[in-house]
Structure 1
Amino acid sequence: MIYVTEAIRIDEKELIESFVTSSGPGGQNVNKVASAVQLRFDVAANWTIPWDVKMRLARLAGRRMTSEGVLVIQAQRFRDQARNRADALERLVGLIREAVEPPKPRIATKPTKGSVRRRLAAKSHRSDLKRNRAEPDDE
């Protein structure tokens, strides 16, 4: 059992790992040893993750989340399989922990009087520049 938070936990049986040949470092073994890890986790089927966290997780995951709600993490940073497995699991837990934190609500603010004055002064200055560029009216 992997404890992400006090309320959220992942059973190892829910994780599906497949191993493929890595495109990264590996020397002579790069084409022979399947050191890259593809970790799949069915977020939609997990009952310990609340609905709002699942929605934030889907937004954070982006293209890594399939339409069926399966999160796919590819790890090929290291040369050996064990370190790539640990890296994939660490990234999964980090992503879920990031999704647990609710977004900070935006506080609406008004522009200061000075900033409004500076913006309008810059606009009138630009307007004067363009007006002076035009050919004078010959009446």
Structure 2
Amino acid sequence: MSEFGDLRISDTLTVPGWELSEAFVRASGPGGQHVNKVSTAVQLTWSVDASSLPAEIKARFQKLYGPRITNDGRIILESGEHRSQLLNRQAVRERLVAMILKASIQPKRRVKTKPTQGSVRRRIAAKKRRGEIKSLRGSIDRTED
């Protein structure tokens, strides 16, 4: 495990480096001898619950990525797509930044709208037509003939 510098999300948001921890593991896939002997893949672990982010961003993050968060409130991201440890570190950090940025965007509130008078009239007329059709299905009273 190693500690590294602060993770800058935006001008106002920063995750301190002490909140993040990373472990280097052997990557899988093609690469021959290099991939078998060098730990280039990176596992980044971040505790969402213990982070210094504002509460509303933490709540949105947990709502968005709830299934990916472990029972102890941590999110574990892995990157092993590059042959270089440095590129994998950058890739996994960029992925975490993108996730936090997505959680920091406040969703737009839905504006309630009322149906137009014309659409209400058309709906009522269609219901009356349908009711008329259903009333004609009944048995015919032949006593008046």
Matches within 5 A, 1:1-139: 1-18=6-23, 19=25, 21-22=27-28, 26-27=29-30, 29=32, 32=36, 36-47=41-52, 49-76=53-80, 78-80=81-83, 82=85, 83-128=87-132, 134=137, 136-137=139-140, 139=142
Aligned counterparts of 1:135 and 1:34: Cα–Cα separation in 2: 79
Checking the alignment, whether the CA contact within 8 Å between 1:42 and 1:71 is kept in structure 2 is yes
What is the deviation of 1:104? 1.4
> Any gaps of 5 or more consecutive residues in structure 1?
none
Three-state SS of the structure 2 residue aligned to 1:52 is helix
Greater shift in the superposed pair: 2-11 or 104-113:
2-11
Alignment size in residue pairs: 132
| Cα distance change, pair 127–39 in 1 and its aligned pair in 2 (3 A) | farther
Q: Quick check: 2:44–2:77 contact (8 Å CA) kept in 1? A: yes
Q: For the Cα contact (< 8 Å) 1:34–1:81, is it kept in 2?
A: no
Q: Which amino acid aligns with 2:22?
A: E
Q: Answer yes or no: is the 8 Å Cα contact 1:20–1:38 preserved in 2.
A: no
Considering only CA atoms, is the larger Rg found in Structure 1 or Structure 2? 2
Paired residue type of 1:109 = T
Q: Which aligned segments of 4 or more residues in structure 1 are displaced greater than 4 angstroms?
A: 33-36, 125-132
Partner amino acid for 1:68?
D
Give the alignment's TM-score, normalised by structure 1: 0.70
CA distance 1:75–1:13, change in 2 (3 Å): same
1:50-101 per-position Cα deviation (integer Å, ceiling 9, x unaligned): 111111111111211223321222445x253544433321121111112222
Instruction: Confirm or deny: 8 A CA contact 2:43 2:76 kept in the other structure.
Output: yes
Distance 1:138 1:129 in 2: 17
Is the alpha carbon distance of 1:136 and 1:95 closer, same or farther for their aligned partners in structure 2, counting shifts above 3 Å?
A: same
Unaligned stretches of 5+ residues in structure 2: 1-5
Counterpart residue identity of residue 88, structure 1: V
- Secondary structure at the aligned position of 1:27 is classed as coil
